[in-house]
Amino acid sequence: MVVPILFGVSVIVFFLMRLVPGDPALVILGLRATPEGLAAIHRDLGLDLPIHRQYIHWLGNFLSGDLGRDYRSNEAVTTLLAQRLPVTIELTLLSLLMSTAVSIPIGVQAARKPKGWADRAADAIGLVGISVPDFWLGIILVLVFSLGFGIFPSSGYTPLSVGLAQNLSGFVLPSLTLAVGLAAVLVRVTRSAVAEVMAMNFVRFLRAKGLSEPAIFYRHVLRNAALPIVTVTSMQFGYLLGGAVIVEQVFDLPGVGNLIVTATLERNFPVVQAGVLIVAAFVIFVNLAADLLNLLLNPKMSEADL
Amino acid sequence: MSEKRQLQPRSGTPVLLRMAARSRAVTAGLAIVGLLALAAMLAPWLTGGDPSEMDFNTIMASPSRGHLFGTDNFGRDVLTRVIFGLQVSLVVAISSVTLALIVGVPLGLFAGYRGGWGGAAIMRMTDVVMAFPAIVFVVALAGIFGASVTLMVLSIALIFAPIAVRVTAVASSAIKNELYIEGAQARGASHTRIMALHILPNAFAPIAVQASALMGIAILFESAISFIGLGVQPPTPSLGLMLAENRPFMGNAPWLVLGPGVCILLAVLGFNLIGDGLPKLFGRSARS
Amino acid sequence: MALLQINDLTVSFETGAGCVEAVSAVSFHLANGEILGLVGESGCGKSTVAYSLLGLLPPHARVGGSIKFDAVDIAKLDERALRKLRGNRIAMIFQDPMTALDPSFRIGSQLVETLRLHLNLDGVTAAKRAVELLRSVGISSPELRMQAYPHELSGGMRQRVALAIAISCNPDVLIADEPTTGLDVTIQAQVLQLIRVLLTKEKRSGVLLITHDLGVIANYCDRVAVMYAGKIVETGAVSDIFGDPKHPYTQGLLAAIPDGTIARGALRTIPGRVPALTDRGAGCRFAPRCPMALPVCLQPDSPPWVGLSQQREVACVQYAIT
């Protein structure tokens, strides 16, 4: 499943970039453009070849790690991505951590006690969390915690090498911003997954076997509810990366999303192309990893289903 | 079946009243969306009429009777701009969702009901498009073709169409095994006729639920893309764009970011309330 | 002395709209080595009776009367004491065997779990015992099956595994709630025969078999209690009840069996419907549908509980008049 999807994605990305009006050679040379110069650059970039050969050429380069060069700075796109990826990864992982830490316990408790406090909290988080625009939430968090209380920085990134505390404090507000939408989805999924398992016949049989409620719950119910929760979390990863694009803008974090947006505004296409493809590949591989995890958790699934 | 029957209009009680009795969520959602839509439609009459009208005597004035949401750094009335921005948001959302349904529903019907290699090809295509994080996709398209409202509608529709395909396909492949479909086939009805007359009406509930959720997402997308400068371009008022423009001044004038943000939140909340409550109104079939 | 003695068992559920009584003053007993069939239409309260015997009713249920088992009253036990009984002295298997086992755990681990819980066995001994149990319920190559997941087994096999789990601690009482619904007729017979041999013949345990299927009662039970709308209307030995049903409801049920041995000719049904839980008037609950109803049947103290012989009792006013 993964390879054909990746192939499709790469074809779309490649041809989208060919749709770009204008000649990239003109962008590179600008006012210094001469017919000879343009032709030379066309040869260099392989733009004089037929389109399918261009694609194969591009894909070959891509797979061997050559993602092209930044039109403006002439830096290798690979280098740029290597600088930016860690920021995005840290941001998404931290928000994944934050949202699971809140939503899974609340969702579980909500399923155990319908109409209890957790159930109401789950309703509220589930509804407001998916309705709030994340960039606005980020702005409000800055307004309150940076401008108001002065606890966390309002923007910017401190590398991990400078210090863990400074690094993390810069990530608190962005990760929180990004976590809210995911938490909303996860809290709903957790609640319904746990409630569904608790209503299953085998739970009644476990009671009849004489197992205690905690043993039934922690050993059997959670184990079975974990499956849909893992699946949905991984499916939401794409959403998280999309959100990261916006959140990186709000907090001025130098991640891949920020790179893509800046490059888009500057019409710096090799960077956009590589960035989009990397992000899509990332999403596909996270889904693959989730499938593998499901294989471990779900005895009904076999390798053939992948 | 019994729940479906209850949906048939009975004479006497108005449809809206009965819906209100059955789902508070849908009622609340319809009320919010209805009020916002009304405000957006009546924008020229509700407000001074010109969202760009500047008044340098009232720059960054805090909320007051004359300016309920305050004024911005050019002395423009924030409420007026919010209402006009809402107009743009709703137009973008309605047109992109409609477009996505027009493209996605027939493809989904085909994939779900007929299946075969054509159906499989449609489903694989949706896999590919859905592998892109939506925002990244919209951003990239805006970069290629230049930012504009039309492009934003098209690219949001392109992202939503696979979702519409999926929902319709799942619903119709479940329905196609029902006895009444077999009955229709046995009577010699054509496939097109079966899809239009039997499958589509029964797949309506999940599609409606999804469409309502997509309206909310579209509003979020529109404002987010405009916020980063790749959507609606000034001077057209847009909620996302306003937030980007007003943000530098929020330390002194927090109302500049409160009004537009709360307005987006409310609009999205309204659509999500409708989407959450609809399954209850439609009965089991809507839950997928 | 009876193994299990139930006296005036009453179960009601608190709902938003008040209290509804699902089981009303039910009394019966179960002896060692016998299979007692509890028969009735769905919704008559037979499953509620079964759950109350294990203390497995939902929290909003209120239980009255007594359930005497081994000199204690189960109805008054706390959760901790109940857990020691469940799966150990009193075991239960349920309908719908397809979903009775946890899909995420291997068959072996689900068996071992119960054995270790109640018998304090170490892992190796428990695993050995589990293999024996699987063999005893007729599962071929049990060592291999220990490693299987439930979805890899057929419905009949799964019910055998559930039965193996239920009998793993040599229970005194087995409650089987419609254990063969959803199984093929031949598999049904195998499972029921297994229950009869393993529990009543070998171990002298008592079995309470809950079913709506009179054929099952006729073939596998020693005695039968017929329930209607939350009450027992007639009890007795299977041969007596099938040969000479006394209660008009039992007569109606038997007449409705379509196999021709009892009712020849047209298929007969009992006219009318079972009254709703909230709609049970005074007097005999079957009276509104009874072809022989008399005005006295609707009196609040009706029907009387009439002992016809030592084993034979019926709740009907006709037999009190003489």
Closest approach of C306 to chain A, Cα-based (Å): 35
pLDDT of residue B219: 93
pLDDT of residue C1: 60
Report the percent of chain C where pLDDT is more than 70.
95
Q: Please check the confidence at residue B7 and state whether its pLDDT lies above 50.
A: no
Closest approach of C161 to chain A, Cα-based (Å): 12
pLDDT of residue B149: 86
Using a CB-CB cut-off of 8 Å, the residues of chain A touching B253 are none
In chain C, whose CA is at the least distance from the CA of A296?
A: C104
A239 close to A279: Cβ distance less than 8 angstroms: no
DSSP state of A66: -
Whether a cis peptide bond, with omega within 30° of 0, leads into B235 is yes
A131, A265, A283 ranked by CB distance to B131: nearest: A283
pLDDT of residue B101: 94
Chain-chain contact of A210 with C117 (C-beta, under 8 angstroms)? yes
Q: Please check the confidence at residue B268 and state whether its pLDDT lies above 90.
A: yes
Instruction: Please name the residues between 216 and 245 in chain A that touch chain B, using a CB distance below 8 Å.
Output: 238-239, 241-243, 245
Residue listed under structure tokens 């009949």: C156
Using a CB-CB cut-off of 8 Å, the residues of chain B touching A133 are 220, 223-224, 240, 261, 264-265, 268
Q: Please check the confidence at residue C262 and state whether its pLDDT lies above 50.
A: no
Best probe of the B interface among A246, A285, A288, by most B CBs < 10 A, is A246
3-state secondary structure of A71: coil
A167 close to A160: Cβ distance less than 8 angstroms: yes
pLDDT of residue B283: 65
Quickly list DSSP for C220-287: H-SEEEEEETTEEEEEEEHHHHHHS--SHHHHHHHHT-TTSSSS-SS----SS-PPPTT---SS-TTG
DSSP state of B196: I
Q: How confident is the model at residue C37 (pLDDT cuts 50, 70, 90)?
A: very high
Give the residue-averaged pLDDT of C229-237: 89
As a whole number of angstroms, the distance between CA B249 and CA B72 comes to 9
Range ranked top by mean pLDDT from A286-295, B238-247, B266-275, C244-253: B266-275
Lowest mean pLDDT among B58-62, C77-81, C238-242: B58-62
Report the percent of chain A where pLDDT is more than 70.
92
A16, A139, A265 ranked by CB distance to B229: nearest: A265
Q: What share of chain C is helix, strand, coil (3-state, %, to 5)?
A: 35, 25, 40
Closest approach of B192 to chain A, Cα-based (Å): 30
Report the percent of chain C where pLDDT is more than 90.
11
Closest approach of A198 to chain C, Cα-based (Å): 11
The number of C-beta contacts closer than 8 angstroms across A and B is 140
In chain C, whose CA is at the least distance from the CA of A198?
A: C102
Q: How confident is the model at residue B249 (pLDDT cuts 50, 70, 90)?
A: confident
Q: Please check the confidence at residue C260 and state whether its pLDDT lies above 60.
A: no
Chain-chain contact of A265 with B273 (C-beta, under 8 angstroms)? no
CA angle C116, C117, C118 (to 5 degrees): 95
Give the residue-averaged pLDDT of A230-259: 87
pLDDT of residue C322: 54
Q: Looking at this protein, which amino acid is placed at residue C231?
A: K
Identify the residue with better confidence: C214 or B65: C214
Whole-complex ipTM: 0.85
Best probe of the C interface among A202, A203, A207, A209, by most C CBs < 10 A, is A209
Q: How confident is the model at residue B288 (pLDDT cuts 50, 70, 90)?
A: very low
Strand positions, DSSP E, A20-126: none
Q: Please check the confidence at residue A155 and state whether its pLDDT lies above 70.
A: yes
B125, B140, B228 ranked by CB distance to A249: nearest: B228
Identify the residue with better confidence: A235 or B208: B208
As a whole number of angstroms, the distance between CA B53 and CA A48 comes to 52
The pLDDT tens digits for C11-32 are 988 877 778 888 888 889 898 8
Strand positions, DSSP E, C70-186: 72-73, 90-93, 173-177
Using a CB-CB cut-off of 8 Å, the residues of chain A touching B124 are 4-5, 8
C185 close to C150: Cβ distance less than 8 angstroms: no
DSSP state of B223: H
Residue B91 contacts A, CB cutoff 8 Å: no
Contacts of A282 (CB under 8 A, 6+ apart): A241
C and A: touch, per 3+ CB pairs < 8 A?
yes
As a whole number of angstroms, the distance between CA A171 and CA C98 comes to 49
B222 close to B207: Cβ distance less than 8 angstroms: no
Best probe of the A interface among C104, C161, C173, by most A CBs < 10 A, is C104
Using a CB-CB cut-off of 8 Å, the residues of chain C touching A299 are 103-104, 106, 149, 151
B285 close to B229: Cβ distance less than 8 angstroms: no
The number of C-beta contacts closer than 8 angstroms across A and C is 72
Residue B95, token pair as written in the block:
């047109």
Task: List the alpha helices (DSSP H) in B147-282.
Answer: 149-175, 179-186, 191-194, 200-227, 239-246, 255-282
Phi and psi, residue C305, nearest 5°: -100, 110
Quickly list DSSP for B135-175: HHHHHHHHHHH---HHHHHHHHHHHHHHHHHHHHHHHHHHH
Whether a cis peptide bond, with omega within 30° of 0, leads into B234 is no
Closest approach of B173 to chain A, Cα-based (Å): 20
Residue B227 contacts A, CB cutoff 8 Å: yes
Q: How confident is the model at residue B11 (pLDDT cuts 50, 70, 90)?
A: very low
Give the residue-averaged pLDDT of C88-97: 87
DSSP state of B9: P
A251 close to A242: Cβ distance less than 8 angstroms: no
A207, A298, A300 ranked by CB distance to C56: nearest: A207
Closest approach of A210 to chain C, Cα-based (Å): 5
Q: How confident is the model at residue B16 (pLDDT cuts 50, 70, 90)?
A: low
* Distance set, CA A301 to CA A192, B100, B217, C157, C264 (Å): 21, 34, 33, 21, 52
B246 close to B252: Cβ distance less than 8 angstroms: no
pLDDT of residue B3: 39
Contacts of B203 (CB under 8 A, 6+ apart): B109, B112, B168, B171, B172, B175
* Residue C111: CB atoms within 10 Å: 27
Quickly list DSSP for A101-143: HHHHHHHHHHHHSTTSHHHHHHHHHHHHHHHS-HHHHHHHHII
B and C: touch, per 3+ CB pairs < 8 A?
no
3-state secondary structure of C13: strand
Give the residue-averaged pLDDT of B258-276: 90
Give the residue-averaged pLDDT of A61-73: 77
Using a CB-CB cut-off of 8 Å, the residues of chain B touching A260 are 136, 139-140
pLDDT of residue B248: 82
Give the residue-averaged pLDDT of C307-319: 83
* Distance set, CA B40 to CA B96, B114, C288 (Å): 18, 42, 64
The pLDDT tens digits for C117-172 are 888 888 889 999 999 899 888 888 888 999 999 888 888 888 889 989 988 888 89
Give the residue-averaged pLDDT of C95-123: 88
Give the residue-averaged pLDDT of A72-85: 84
Query: Pick from B283, B270, B288, B279: which is nearest to B93 by CA?
Result: B270
Residue listed under structure tokens 């696979």: B162
The pLDDT tens digits for B138-156 are 888 887 777 788 888 998 9
Chain-chain contact of B269 with A131 (C-beta, under 8 angstroms)? yes
Q: How confident is the model at residue C112 (pLDDT cuts 50, 70, 90)?
A: very high
Model confidence, pTM = 0.81
Identify the residue with better confidence: A62 or A305: A62
Q: Looking at this protein, which amino acid is placed at residue C160?
A: R
